[in-house]
Amino acid sequence: MQAFALTARRLYSTKPPAVLPEAARIARTSSTPLAVRLRRRKKFGPTAVGTSDSTPEGLTPTELARYKRLRATGQLKVIGGEPVSEVQWLERMNERRSRVRGLKTVQRNGQEETEVLGRRVYLPNIIIRLVRNNTLKGEPYNPYEATFRIPKSVTKTDLRSYLLSIYGVQTTYIRTDNYISPLFPRLGNKRKSFKTYKRAVVGLVDPFYYPQRIEDMPAVQKEEREKWIEDTFQIQATRSLQKYELLRMTQGQGKGWKFKEPLATKRSHILRLVAERREKREGLIIGQAREWQQMRARGESITLKAPSKDLIAPPTGELSSVPAN
């Protein structure tokens, strides 16, 4: 029997607060699609960096234009003998956006009850990953946005409902785009399914600060962090050991089986390691020779210690004597 995991509530939009924070408005303006920004720039002029193009009541230029159009055509209802104001119209729009699809209010025994029209989702197999926002060089990180990688089948409504019902996160907008995997000739010009994903940029009402990356840390803090990671997880030591084992296993391979790239250690890699060891050995010899030259220039005597017998003893099975010249 499957256990109940999640009731998927599909919302048109999260009802934002009456007045959005100024930083959230600025984030909403900066994340507007390029085509919309160019159209607004041509019509209203450029918007200064770090400012919002919304009205003091919180209406975007698109919402303001729609409000004026409806008011001019007489499609707005009159409340108390007066026309609907911008704030009232925005509140009504937010109420309509926040209604729940799949739920219905019914009267039972003189009381209102909520009835679920949709069906429950058992053991959902979707994976939603939170990733860091794409921040251009020299620009500050935007805490009023969050970026997710979601399956292609997940819609904006699904993601908005998921964030609200599971984590209680209120959103102001969601913009999605799809990344299509390139064609791989070795696979017969096919695409890799795991390299194709959908990206969702979500506007947040409350700020969220992503954990700081190592690249963004100061030099001292970055060095301490890297040292802690290496001492705890031994990443570099493990990579060095893997390279050594691959080199040992692929040396002397004949016409039999071979590792495929990129696991195989090529001949060029072996030659590079041999050249590095030779350069290191020659550097030690040159350094020792220069030290002796300096000692001779100062008039100091050079004394060499005789090697131990164990070092000069021939190995077993070979000639034990060397003919004198």
Task: Write down the pLDDT at residue 147.
Answer: 93
Exposure class string for 299-315: b at 16+ Cβ within 10 A, else e: eeeeeeeeeeeeeeeee
pLDDT digits (tens, 9 = 90+) for 122-161: 777 888 999 988 887 777 788 889 999 998 888 888 888 8
Task: Write down the pLDDT at residue 134.
Answer: 85
Task: Write down the pLDDT at residue 12.
Answer: 40
- Residue 320's Cβ-side half-sphere holds a number of Cα atoms within 13 Å equal to 3
Distance CA 214, CA 227 (A): 12
Distance CA 97, CA 115 (A): 19
Task: Write down the pLDDT at residue 258.
Answer: 56
Task: Write down the pLDDT at residue 9.
Answer: 36
- Continuous H helices in the chain: 22-30, 34-44, 61-72, 86-97, 156-162, 219-233, 235-250, 267-297, 309-312
DSSP string of 290-324?
HHHHHHHHTT-----PPPPHHHHSPPTTS-S----
Distance CA 263, CA 245 (A): 11
Task: Write down the pLDDT at residue 255.
Answer: 53
Distance CA 89, CA 84 (A): 6
CA torsion 249-252-254-260 (nearest 10°) is: 40
Task: Write down the pLDDT at residue 214.
Answer: 80
Amino acid symbol at 281 = R
Amino acid symbol at 44 = F
Residue 110, SS3 per DSSP: coil
- Residue 235's Cβ-side half-sphere holds a number of Cα atoms within 13 Å equal to 5
Distance CA 10, CA 17 (A): 20
As given in the structure block, the two tokens for residue 262 are 């990129």
pLDDT digits (tens, 9 = 90+) for 180-197: 888 877 777 777 766 788
Residue for token pair 């041999």? 274
Task: Write down the pLDDT at residue 253.
Answer: 57
Beta strands in 103-170 (DSSP E): 103-108, 111-116, 129-131, 145-150
Using alpha carbons, select from 162, 113, 151 the residue that is nearest to residue 5.
162
Task: Write down the pLDDT at residue 212.
Answer: 76
Domains (ranges, CATH) in the chain? 10-116 (no CATH), 129-204 (3.30.70.330), 219-251+259-280 (no CATH)
Amino acid symbol at 3 = A
Using alpha carbons, select from 121, 131, 208, 108 the residue that is nearest to residue 161.
121
Which CB contacts under 8 angstroms, 24+ apart, belong to 159-165?
A: 159/128, 159/200, 159/202, 160/11, 160/13, 160/14, 160/202, 161/8, 161/9, 161/10, 161/11, 162/8, 162/128, 163/14, 163/202, 164/9, 164/11, 164/14, 165/6, 165/7, 165/9
114 φψ region: left (φ > 0), alpha (ψ -120 to 50), beta (else): beta
121: DSSP letter: B
Average pLDDT by stretches of 10, the chain with 325 residues? 34 56 83 85 85 84 87 78 80 67 76 73 81 82 90 87 83 88 76 81 88 80 90 89 81 56 64 87 90 88 70 46 42
Task: Write down the pLDDT at residue 198.
Answer: 92
